[in-house]
Amino acid sequence: MEIPAYFPRGWFAPEAFSEPQQLLAAFFNSSTVGLAILDRQLRFQAANGALAKMSGVPAGAHLGKTAQQIFGDLEPLEVTLQHVLATTRPALDVDLSGRLPKRAEVGHWIGNFFPIKDGSGKVKQIGTIVVEVTNQKKLEKSLHSLTARLLQIKDDEQRRIARELHDSLGQYYVRLKMNLDVLSRHELEPDDKAELFAQSMQVLDRCISETRTISYLLHPPLLDEAGLASAVRWYVDGLGQRSGIKVNLYVQQDLGRLPEKVEMGLFRVLQESVTNVHRHANSPALDIRLGRKSDQVTLEVRDYGRGIQPAQLKRFQETNTSGGVGLAGMRERIHELGGWLDVRSDKGTIVTAKIPLTRSRKKSITRQHRKGKSAKSDVA
Ligand SMILES: Nc1ncnc2c1ncn2[C@@H]1O[C@H](COP(=O)(O)OP(=O)(O)OP(=O)(O)O)[C@@H](O)[C@H]1O
Ligand SMILES: [Mg+2]
């Protein structure tokens, strides 16, 4: 077959166009992007199934209708089509948004509109290619709000640490300085001197213990040194004392060491789940289970509190948004490690994180070797 002069030279082998009508039909019928041909009055002459799915109108029912009748006030569709007619040039990658007459919620599309000219160069029709991007836009939006929320949380966290440092350690240091001032400037009776020394030692002990608590909560050193089981036990001990919640901890006896990232990920899931219980659940008790079966490690945090509202839980399951970043962040973290996170709520709430171990086991061995430590088992 002779390739018509208007095809760019060298782009096609002649046999590619040997059956032009079948070719067009195959493209139209099989495409998952919306395809349509409009006349100069912007009436549909053809629309494929994918476009029908987007518009909510059967493909055949498009014929003879105008773009406005099918797509309503989708912005900026009408203006773009008129522009193609007026300039005889294509309009590419046009962002389209709006509520279509047959669809309930606002949608988003990217459209390409190109002139189809007759032999004299006059625009006879407009070819249209449309891709729906509503889900991507939704994800983008939730990612934006998640990022904003993360930054907010970081600010809050830094403010909290600053306040804690100021109110606790700061006050102790002031006390110490005053004591040292008195000791250095005044002639004191031996008994008074001894008392001031003893008092200063007490204050110093509190400084050491506060520093340790703050630093442990930011990053428990036990996690690196002794492993997840020990860090979890340390965390749970402190929690029992701080919160008054009765915590039942079940850690598998031969849990052993896990890859560094898995230990960190599970520890953060534990911290967030427990913080949620403390803040939202009003639960008298809490069960924490940590175990390992062949090549999978599982952490379960269960409370017996008021539970998560069904609508809120559904939103989290479907869109990974929950109003905060705690649940979504946990899920992201666990997905990053190749695992999955499930949140259920009935009588109380159960957060379960499962991570396969095969992928990163090699890394863990390398890490232990590098630190010159042997794998250590933790006993419940
Ligand atoms: N254990 C729980 N019991 C009851 N409700 C919960 C529990 N965990 C979470 N929720 C509900 O789910 C919502 C979302 O939790 P998420 O951890 O994502 O955010 P948050 O705790 O509100 O804020 P943050 O971003 O600081 O974590 C909470 O606001 C709360 O209403
Ligand atoms: Mg939270």
Which of these three, 218, 244, 267, is where a domain ends? Answer: 218
The answer to whether position 18 is within a domain reads no
| Domain harbouring 370, CATH code | 3.30.565.10
Q: Which residue has the tokens 């007459």?
A: 101
Q: How confident is the model at residue 145 (pLDDT cuts 50, 70, 90)?
A: confident
Which of these three, 63, 98, 132, is where a domain ends? Answer: 132
Distance CA 142, CA 333 (A): 17
3-state secondary structure of 46: strand
Identify the pLDDT of residue 5.
61
Q: Are residues 259 and 207 located together in one domain of the fold?
A: no
Lowest mean pLDDT among 13-17, 177-181, 261-265, 347-351: 13-17
Q: How confident is the model at residue 279 (pLDDT cuts 50, 70, 90)?
A: confident
Q: Which residues contact 345 (CB under 8 A, 6 or more apart)?
A: 307, 308, 310, 313
Q: Are residues 199 and 53 located together in one domain of the fold?
A: no
Q: Which amino acid is at 329?
A: G
Looking at all shown ligands, the one closest to residue 286's CA atom is 1
Query: How many Å lie between the centroid of ligand 1 and the Cα of residue 150?
Result: 14
Query: How many Å lie between the centroid of ligand 2 and the Cα of residue 326?
Result: 4
Q: How confident is the model at residue 3 (pLDDT cuts 50, 70, 90)?
A: low
Q: How confident is the model at residue 220 (pLDDT cuts 50, 70, 90)?
A: confident
What is the Cα Rg of the chain in Å?
Answer: 33
Distance CA 251, CA 226 (A): 14
Q: Are 41 and 63 in contact (CB under 8 A)?
A: no
Q: Are residues 196 and 292 located together in one domain of the fold?
A: no
Query: How many Å lie between the centroid of ligand 2 and the Cα of residue 327?
Result: 6
Q: Which residues contact 127 (CB under 8 A, 6 or more apart)?
A: 35, 36, 37, 113, 114, 115, 116
Query: How many Å lie between the centroid of ligand 2 and the Cα of residue 151?
Result: 15
Q: Are residues 140 and 197 located together in one domain of the fold?
A: yes
Average pLDDT, the chain: 86
Looking at all shown ligands, the one closest to residue 149's CA atom is 1
Q: Are residues 107 and 214 located together in one domain of the fold?
A: no
Asked if residue 345 has its Cβ within 6 Å of ligand 1, the reply is: no
| Tens digits of residue pLDDT in 160-176 | 888 878 888 889 999 99
pLDDT above 60 for 379: no
Helix (H) or strand (E) holding 17: none
Nearest to 270 by CA among 229, 230, 300: 300
Distance of CA 252 to CAs 107, 263, 297, 312, 373, Å?
50, 14, 10, 33, 21
pTM for the whole thing?
A: 0.57
**In the chain, pLDDT over 70 holds for what percent of residues?**
91
Nearest to 83 by CA among 49, 53, 123: 123
Distance CA 281, CA 307 (A): 6
Nearest alpha carbon, ligand 1 atom 11: 308
Q: How confident is the model at residue 242 (pLDDT cuts 50, 70, 90)?
A: low
| Tens digits of residue pLDDT in 105-131 | 899 999 999 999 998 889 999 999 999
Nearest alpha carbon, ligand 1 atom 12: 308
Total Cβ atoms within 10 A of residue 147: 11
The neighbourhood of ligand 2, an ion, using CB within 5 A, equals: 276, 324, 326
The answer to whether position 358 is within a domain reads yes
Distance CA 161, CA 235 (A): 18
Q: Are residues 231 and 105 located together in one domain of the fold?
A: no
Identify the pLDDT of residue 221.
77
Mean pLDDT of 216-223: 78
The structure tokens listed for 208 are 């050491």
Q: Are residues 100 and 168 located together in one domain of the fold?
A: no
Q: Are residues 224 and 369 located together in one domain of the fold?
A: yes
N- to C-terminal Cα distance for the chain? 79
| Domain harbouring 126, CATH code | 3.30.450.20
Lowest mean pLDDT among 101-115, 231-245, 250-264: 231-245
Asked if residue 268 has its Cβ within 6 Å of ligand 1, the reply is: no
Domain count, the chain: 3
Domain extent at residue 349: 220-380
The answer to whether position 171 is within a domain reads yes
pLDDT above 60 for 380: no
Q: Are residues 378 and 348 located together in one domain of the fold?
A: yes
Q: Is 205 exposed, middle or buried (0-12, 13-18, 19+ CB in 10 A)?
A: exposed
Measured in whole angstroms, how far is the alpha carbon of residue 35 from the centre of its chain? 34
Which of these three, 132, 166, 193, is where a domain ends? Answer: 132
| Tens digits of residue pLDDT in 296-340 | 999 999 999 999 999 999 888 887 777 777 898 899 889 989 999
Q: Which of 142, 155, 280, 330 is the best mutation target for the ligand 1 pocket, counting ligand atoms within 8 Å of the beta carbon and taking the most?
A: 280
Q: How confident is the model at residue 65 (pLDDT cuts 50, 70, 90)?
A: very high
| Tens digits of residue pLDDT in 341-376 | 999 998 899 999 999 997 544 443 334 444 433 333
Q: Are residues 242 and 107 located together in one domain of the fold?
A: no
Distance CA 340, CA 222 (A): 25
| Tens digits of residue pLDDT in 70-95 | 999 898 999 999 999 999 999 999 99
Nearest alpha carbon, ligand 1 atom 19: 324
Q: Which of 308, 330, 332, 346 is the best mutation target for the ligand 1 pocket, counting ligand atoms within 8 Å of the beta carbon and taking the most?
A: 308
Distance CA 367, CA 19 (A): 62
Q: Which residues contact 253 (CB under 8 A, 6 or more apart)?
A: 377, 378, 379, 380
Looking at all shown ligands, the one closest to residue 321's CA atom is 1
